Homo-oligomer: A and B are copies of this chain.
Amino acid sequence: MVARYERIAEELRDDILTGVHPVGSQLPTEAELATRYEAARGTVRQAVAVLVAEGLVGSRQGARRIVLGRARSQSFAELHSFAQWARANGHRFGGQVMGQRRRDASPVETARLGTDEVLEVLRLRTLECEPVLVERTVYAGWVAGAVEALPPSCESVTEALYDSIGLVFAYGEHLIDAVAAGAEDARLLGVRRGSPLLRQRRITTTHEGRPVEWSEDRYRAGSVVFSIRNSIDANPLVRQAGDLRFGA
């Protein structure tokens, strides 16, 4: 059962995408939408709030809402999982484990993941058969077994872990910056040492806030771009100085 406001949001999103409400135009008023969809004003407000949060619509008190853009935000899964993102966007992709070992957690890792033992995995990911991403992931001890049981060429670790032990990745914190390719990066990605890479470091947790993994992903320059929309009201992305957290 999908909520009413979600269906209304979906219809409005479609109308924006198909040009019924072109970029730059005004959205109908809440009262009009309420009449059209035979819903209470509060329900319509919830629907529009979804689009505002996605950055598609701008809103401020007293003025009619305005269509800002058409691009649609992707799901958490698509940001989190390379496989799910690539699949949703129609790319050919692959993955291969290049190395894997259990070891004791460093003090930093213990603080981050809350376990004494960790599993360290090095993966290389390809897009359209080109290597684009080096993924260095450290899993908390309590999922290590399930990860080790996966085949080395497993396409989507996220999906595989859900299937095998019902693990759901629910929350993530991401840090994004640029670094120079190290010797190993360069060899794996087929670029020169020192060439620019886009780095995404992240910690992922379950619904309960229990840390599952800590990962450092390095993308070959030009292969992927992160995109965000923000407004004076809603602002999810944050800029920080230097390497404050997450260590070196």
Q: Assess A240 versus B221: contact at CB under 8 Å? Given A76-B232, A170-B58.
A: no
B221 engages A91 (CB within 8 Å): no
Q: Assess A238 versus B73: contact at CB under 8 Å? Given A58-B209, A197-B178.
A: yes
Interchain CA distance A127-B77 in the complex, whole Å: 36
Pick from B68, B74, B196, B240: contact of A209, CB below 8 A: B68
Closest partner residue, chain B, to A208 (CB atom): B66
A194 contacts which chain B residues (CB < 8 A)? Answer: 194-196
The minimal Cβ–Cβ distance linking A170 to chain B, given in whole angstroms, is: 5
- Would you call A187 an interface residue if the criterion is a C-beta within 8 Å of the partner chain's C-beta atoms? no
A196 contacts which chain B residues (CB < 8 A)? Answer: 178-180, 194-197, 221
A177 engages B221 (CB within 8 Å): yes
A131 contacts which chain B residues (CB < 8 A)? Answer: none
- Would you call A108 an interface residue if the criterion is a C-beta within 8 Å of the partner chain's C-beta atoms? no
Task: Tell which of A117-125, A140-148, A222-230 binds the partner.
Answer: A222-230
Say which size band chain A's interface belongs to: 35 or more
The minimal Cβ–Cβ distance linking A180 to chain B, given in whole angstroms, is: 5
- Would you call A150 an interface residue if the criterion is a C-beta within 8 Å of the partner chain's C-beta atoms? no
Most buried by B among A85, A170, A238: A238
B236 engages A55 (CB within 8 Å): yes
A226 engages B198 (CB within 8 Å): no
A237 contacts which chain B residues (CB < 8 A)? Answer: 79, 174, 226-228, 236-237
A192-215 residues at the B interface, CB under 8 angstroms: 194-199, 205, 207-209
- Would you call A163 an interface residue if the criterion is a C-beta within 8 Å of the partner chain's C-beta atoms? no
- Would you call A2 an interface residue if the criterion is a C-beta within 8 Å of the partner chain's C-beta atoms? no
Interchain CA distance A58-B223 in the complex, whole Å: 32
Q: List 15 A-B residue pairs with CB atoms under 8 Å apart, sorted by A's residue number.
A: A53-B234, A55-B236, A66-B209, A78-B235, A78-B239, A79-B230, A171-B230, A223-B241, A225-B239, A225-B242, A225-B244, A227-B237, A228-B236, A228-B237, A237-B237
